Structure 1
Amino acid sequence: MSVNIHFLGHAGFVLTAGKHTVVIDPFITGNPRCKAHVQDINATHIVLTHGHGDHFGNTIEIAERTGAIVLTVNEIAEYLGEKGLTKLEPMNPGGRVDTGFGYVALTQAFHSSSYDGRYMGMPAGAIIHLAGKTFYHTGDTGIFSDMKLIGEIYKPDVAMICAGDRFTMGPELAARAAEMIKPKIAIPIHFGTFGLLADEDTVRRGFKPDGVEVKLMKPGETFDLG
């Protein structure tokens, strides 16, 4: 079965295979590059890498409307429970949860995580195994040597790699990360949304990993992975 990959913009994605729709970091409202409308986003599962508003985004609204299961670090899950959500899978980096479509595992990420003035636990990357395909979303992070180990263990078909600089890796370091992870396809993310981040031209020039196909997606763009 193929997986449809829809880029929401910034770091958000919708992965769809059959009856399963996995939404990652649904920052829609307030995202100047997102062409989607939050009421049009359907989900069976939401994967949230950390608590910053440009990733947490519309998680609560989408989960309330769709009944989606939210998979995220323990502290965020506790917060979401306080807000009335009940379909929660608390996790932490190193852990894995089996789902109806495959599994979600969390990896380490070097960043920070807070929401509404509250500490939201460790930031994370996410491994999503859906319809026989494996996706690695780095979350927000600097480069780290265990990206090579993550690539060896999970062998991702697609890696979504932050490349906007200042708060995460810039494009050149993101390219080095892609070379360590060795996905079939690397998609740079987390750039061009706000003025402090690298723009699309800078990422296009700098994100050139050796031996890895690069797909620089525009918000709203989709493709099928067969």
Structure 2
Amino acid sequence: MSAKLTFLGHSGFLIDDGATTLAIDPFLTGNPKATMSAEEVRCQFIALTHGHADHMGDALAIARRNDANVIAAFEICNYFEEKGHGNVNPGNPGGRIDTEFGWVALTQAFHSSSFEGRYMGMPCGVVAHIGDKTIYHLGDTTIFRDLELIGEIYRPDLVLVPIGDRFTMGPELATRAAEMIGAPRAVPIHYDTWAPIEQDPAQFAPQGVEVEVMQPGDTLQLD
């Protein structure tokens, strides 16, 4: 089996194994770099790293329209239930959730998480095993030593690493983080959406890692 990764812009992705599509952090409305509208997204599952608007974004509208199963921190899932969408799969860092396509595990991340002034639980990274591939979306985070342990446990084929600085790691720390995780391929994310997080992705250069710089709308085949 294989998986196809489509970049939605900022930190958003669609991952398709030919039978099932998982959306991660689908922020499209209000995203100046997006090439797809929220109405165009078709998926059966949505995973969210945390509650900030530039990550949770269009998740509720997409979930309602597709009756998608939402995998996220307990507090985010509670919010979705209160808004009338009960198809949720709550978890927290360290937990693994089995799905029809494989599984999703939530990991630690160092950030904050709120939406419209409401606490949205712990921020997370998302590890998705789909199409016999394991993809680790770090969410919004800085570098931390346990990235090495996460790499040892899950052995991801691909990592999605924030490089925008200010709110997350910048390219220098992101480079070290990718080297610590040890995945063979990496995609830089969470940069150039707005002026405060403008970065040169060429500065993200982990040794021994193939870097794939994606533009919104680009696809990457994981064979």
TM-score range, shorter chain: over 0.9
Structure 1 SS opposite 2:105:
strand
**Identical amino acids, percent of aligned pairs:** 53
Name the structure 2 match of 1:148: 148
Name the structure 2 match of 1:22: 22
| Aligned 8 A contact 1:164 1:203 in 2 | no
* 2:12 pairs with 1:12: yes
1:131 positional shift:
1.4
| Deviation string, structure 1 residues 25-47 (Cα, Å, up to 9, x no partner) | 00000000010011110011000
Name the structure 2 match of 1:203: 201
Looking at structure 1, the residues matched to 179 and 163 of structure 2 have their Cα atoms a distance apart, in angstroms, of: 14
Name the structure 2 match of 1:213: 210
Output the amino acid matched with 1:213.
Answer: E
Q: Which contiguous aligned blocks of 4+ residues in structure 1 show a shift greater than 4 angstroms? A: none
Q: Aligned runs of 1:125-164 on 2, under 5 Å?
A: 125-164=125-164
Q: Aligned runs of 1:69-218 on 2, under 5 Å?
A: 69-199=69-199, 202-204=200-202, 206-218=203-215
TM-score, normalised on structure 2?
0.99
Specify every segment of 5 or more residues in structure 1 that has no aligned partner in the other structure, as ranges. none
Looking at structure 1, the residues matched to 121 and 37 of structure 2 have their Cα atoms a distance apart, in angstroms, of: 29
| Deviation string, structure 1 residues 183-218 (Cα, Å, up to 9, x no partner) | 12100000000111033xx222x2000000000101
1:135 positional shift:
0.3
Looking at structure 2, the residues matched to 51 and 91 of structure 1 have their Cα atoms a distance apart, in angstroms, of: 14
Output the amino acid matched with 2:205.
Answer: K
Output the amino acid matched with 2:38.
Answer: V
Looking at structure 2, the residues matched to 218 and 27 of structure 1 have their Cα atoms a distance apart, in angstroms, of: 15
Alignment root-mean-square deviation, CA: 0.6
Looking at structure 1, the residues matched to 97 and 112 of structure 2 have their Cα atoms a distance apart, in angstroms, of: 23
Looking at structure 2, the residues matched to 116 and 19 of structure 1 have their Cα atoms a distance apart, in angstroms, of: 35
1:18 positional shift:
1.9
Name the structure 1 match of 2:43: 43
Looking at structure 1, the residues matched to 105 and 220 of structure 2 have their Cα atoms a distance apart, in angstroms, of: 24
Q: How many residues align?
A: 223
Structure 1 SS opposite 2:151:
helix
